[in-house]
Amino acid sequence: MTEHEKMLAGKIYDPFSENMAEERIRAHRLCREYNDTLDTDEAARGAILDELLPARRGQGVHPAGKARRGRLAPVDRRGTVTSSPP
């Protein structure tokens, strides 16, 4: 069983194994690419998310900083947009 299979099965795994490090670097690269795209570039964002999260079933991901009426909306530590500053 690979470290990745152990992780998915909820078993103890070595997060520092060579394969897991490669997966982590790949995920960080894809996250950077996603964050560097415009919200309006839905095709590029969708392709990146399909590679990063194959089971997403059309669901999207929003970065923590969201604009509300031209201003940044307050976000708490969990990344949830709040009605008042944290």
Question: Over the stretch 5-28, which tens digit does the pLDDT of each residue have?
Answer: 898 889 998 988 888 888 889 989
The SS3 of residue 73 is coil
- For the chain, percent of residues with pLDDT exceeding 90: 8
Which pLDDT score is estimated for 85?
Answer: 47
Which pLDDT score is estimated for 86?
Answer: 45
Which pLDDT score is estimated for 29?
Answer: 92
pTM: 0.62
Residues of the chain falling short of pLDDT 70: 62-86
Could you tell me how far CA 36 lies from the centroid of its own chain?
Answer: 13
Instruction: Give the other-Cβ count within 10 Å of 3's Cβ.
Output: 19
Query: Length of the chain, please?
Result: 86
